[in-house]
Amino acid sequence: MKITGLSLGYGERLIVDSVDLEIRQGSLTVIVGPNGSGKSTLLRGMSRLLRPRAGTVHLDGVDIADVSSTDLARRLALLPQAPVTPQGLTVGDLVARGRFPHRAWYQRWSDADDDAVRRALTRVDLLDRSADQVSELSGGQRQRAWLAMVLAQDTDHLLLDEPTTYLDLAHAVEVMSLARDIAHESSRTVVGVLHDLTLAARFADHMVVLSAGQIVATGSPDEVVTSALLAEVFGLRAEVITVDGAPAVVPTRHR
Amino acid sequence: MPRASRNGSGRLLPRGVTLLALLVPVATIASLALGANALSPGELTHAVLRPDGQEGDVIVWSLRFPRTMLGLLVGAALGAAGVLMQGHTRNALAEPGLLGVSAGAAFAVVLSLRFAAVDTMLGMVAAAGIGAALAATAVYALARHSVHEGGPALVVAGAALTAFLGALTSAVVLLDAKTLDSYRFWAVGSLAERGQDTPAVIAPFVIVGLLLAAMNARSLDLLALGNDVAASMGLKVTRARLVGLAAVTLLTAASVAACGPIAFIGLLAGTLARALVGASWIRGVLVGALAGAVLLVGSDVIGRLVAGPGELQVGVVSGVLGAPLLIWVIRRRELIL
C-alpha cells in the first residue's frame, strides 16, 4: 500500500496534511498519535470512506480512486471503531455479511461463501459459537466476531480502527496478537490505529507516529518509541523500558 | 455438517412464519365467503370454479373478489413499507402513518381532488406518490442528524409533519363541500366499494414497490451494521437510501390512494416481522408483507361479521385487535432494531 501526498479534511478543516507513507505487505503497521492528530481520518482516507483533497492511495499498484466500490471492497476491508451490533444477529450471520462484495444480488449463498465464513470463524476461534447471538458474547469475543466478518471479506488489506476500544487488557492483547498473526501467516497488509503506545509497541512490526496531521516518525517500535519522541509529540514525561524485546512506556509521576 | 451460517436469519421462528403463510389463504377464503350474505362452501366452490351468474357468483366476483385483492395488496404494501421504514430509521415507531408519509400522500390526494378535479384511481396514485415522496424527503431532511441513530428527533419531526399536513388537509376539505364529500368517502380507511378495477390499477405499483423493498432489504442488512461498515463493503449508501425511499413511496402511495390513510398496520406488521425473523431484513420484508396482508384482510372480515348487517371499517378493527397484539409481542421479546 502506497500513500502519496494524501490530504484529508472535513469542511474547512484540513486534518491530514500531505502524508506520504509506504506500508509493507505481510506485516502489522500501527498508527499512533495524540487525540485529534488525524489517525482515524487517515484510515478513512485509506479506505476511501473520505475522498481526498489531494493525493492518492495505491493498493498493489492500483489507484483506489479508479476502482468500483465492489472491487475496492474485495481488496480492502475496514473494521470501524466500536461498531454497532444489531440485536438478534447471530455470530454466523454477522460474519456472513462480510461476503457481501463477493455476491451480486441475484447470486445465491455458495459453498465458497460458506467456506470463507467457516475459515474466518475458525481463525478467531468462534466456530462453535456461530449460532449464538453476538449480543450474548463477551466484549473480547464480540470484537473477534467482528474481526471474523472482515476476514470473511477475504481482502489482501485490512484496516482496524481502534480495535481494542472498550476491551480490558487481556482481551486487547488477544485481539492485537490475532491481528499480527493474521498479517504474518497470510501475508496480508494489516494497518491498525491505536492510542495505547505500549500495546502498539508490543505487537506492531512497524509504527507510524502522526502529529497534527503529519507523519513525524516511522520505523520499528524500538526506533520510534523513545522518551524524546513521547515528550515532543505527546507532551508526556515517560521512561521507556524494554520488556521481551519490545519497548514499554512507563509514565513518570513527577512532572 | 451444519452450515456455518444460515445466511441472514437471526432467530427465525419457523412455526410463526408457517402459521402466517397458512393464514393468507385462510383469510382470503374467509373474505370471499363471509359477510352480510354468507356463502356455504358449496356456493363458494360454485362461484370460484363454475360461475354462471347465480347470486353467490355475483357477490363473489363483483364485490368480494376485488375487495379481497385490494386488502391483500394494500396490507402487503403497508406491512413491507413499515418494515422498510423501521430498518432505514432504526426506529421501532417508524411506519408510513406515524412519520408523515401517509399524511403527505393524503394531502396531495385532497389537493388533486379539490384543485385538479382528479377522478381516476391512476391520477390519485400519482398525486399520492408525489405527496408521499415529498413528505418522506421532508421528514428525512428535518431529522437528518438523528435518522441513522433512530433518534427521537425523527419521531418528533414525523409527528409534527403528520399534524401539520392533517390540519392542511382538514382546511382544504372543510372549505369546499364537494371535496368534503369525495374525501369522506375516500378517507374512512375502508376496503369496501373501492371500485372493481382499483386492485388492478394499484397492483403494478405495489408489485414494483415490493420488488424494490426486497432488493433494498439486502442493503439494510449492511446498513444495520453502520454506514461505515456498509460503505466499506462496497454498498452505495446514498443509492440504497434512495431505493428505500422509492419503495416506501410507491407502497404508501398505492395504499393511500386506494383506501385512504390506514394507520397502524405498518407498525403492527413491522413489529411482528422483526419479532419473528430477528435481524434478517430480507425475511423481515417478506414476513412483514405477509403479516400486513393477513392483518388487513382478517380485520376486514371481522369488521363485516361483528357489526352485521352493517360493517365496521377495517381501520377500526385493526386498531382494536392490533393494539393488544402489539403489546403482547413486545412484552414477549425485546424489540430488534
DSSP string, chain A: -EEEEEEEEETTEEEEEEEEEE--TTSEEEEE-STTSSHHHHHHHHTTSS--SEEEEEETTEEGGGS-HHHHHHHEEEE-SSPPPPTT-BHHHHHHGGGGGGS-TTPPP-HHHHHHHHHHHHHTT-GGGTTSBGGGS-HHHHHHHHHHHHHHT--SEEEEESTTTT--HHHHHHHHHHHHHHHHHHT-EEEEE-S-HHHHHHH-SEEEEEETTEEEEEE-HHHH--HHHIIIII---EEEEEETTEEEEEE-S--
Q: Quote the mean pLDDT of chain A.
A: 93
Q: Is residue B116 part of a domain?
A: yes
Q: Is residue B51 part of a domain?
A: no
Full domain range(s) for residue B201? 14-30+65-189+196-332
> Average pLDDT for residues A23-34, to the nearest whole number?
94
> Average pLDDT for residues B110-135, to the nearest whole number?
87
Q: What is the largest CA-CA distance in chain B?
A: 70
Is the dihedral angle over the CA atoms B283, B288, B291, B294 positive or is it negative?
negative
Question: Which residue bears the cell 423501521?
Answer: B86
> Using CA atoms, how far apart are residues A26 and A41, in angstroms rounded to an integer?
23
CATH number of residue B216's parent domain: 1.10.3470.10
What 8-state DSSP symbol labels residue B264? S
* Cell numbers placing A211: 502529529
Q: Is residue B53 part of a domain?
A: no
Residues A139, A174: contact at Cβ < 8 Å?
Answer: no
> Average pLDDT for residues A33-50, to the nearest whole number?
93
Q: For A2-251, CATH number?
A: 3.40.50.300
Question: Which residue bears the cell 485509506?
Answer: A46
> Average pLDDT for residues B181-196, to the nearest whole number?
76
Looking at the complex, does the CB of residue A127 fall below 8 Å from at least one CB of chain B? yes
Boundaries of every domain in chain A: 2-251
Distance from CA of B211 to the nearest CA of A (A): 12
- State the total domains in chain B: 1
Q: Is residue B40 part of a domain?
A: no
Dihedral of the alpha carbons of A119, A202, A136, A94, in degrees to the nearest 10: -40
Q: Is residue B70 part of a domain?
A: yes
Interface test mutation site (partner A, options B225, B280, B330, max chain A beta carbons within 10 A): B225
Among the residue ranges A225-239, B123-137, B308-322, the one predicted with the least confidence is: B308-322
Whether A49 and B221 lie within 8 Å, measured CB to CB: no
Q: Is residue B258 part of a domain?
A: yes
Distance from CA of A22 to the nearest CA of B (A): 21
The string of pLDDT tens digits covering residues B82-98 is 999 888 888 777 888 88
Chain B residues with beta carbon closer than 8 angstroms to that of A69:
231, 234-236
Angle of CA points B64, B65, B67, to nearest 5° = 65
Residues A140, A112: contact at Cβ < 8 Å?
Answer: no
Residues A83, B226: contact at Cβ < 8 Å?
Answer: yes
> Using CA atoms, how far apart are residues A31 and B149, in angstroms rounded to an integer?
29
What band does B7 get if pLDDT is binned at 50, 70 and 90?
very low
Q: Which residue of B has its CA nearest to A126?
A: B4
| Rg of chain A, C-alpha, whole Å | 19
Whether B228 and A49 lie within 8 Å, measured CB to CB: yes
Q: Quote the mean pLDDT of chain B.
A: 84
Q: Is residue B8 part of a domain?
A: no
Confidence check on the interface: ipTM exceeds 0.95, yes or no: no
Distance from CA of A87 to the nearest CA of B (A): 5
What band does A157 get if pLDDT is binned at 50, 70 and 90?
very high
In DSSP terms, A248 is beta-bridged to A241
Looking at the complex, does the CB of residue A247 fall below 8 Å from at least one CB of chain B? no
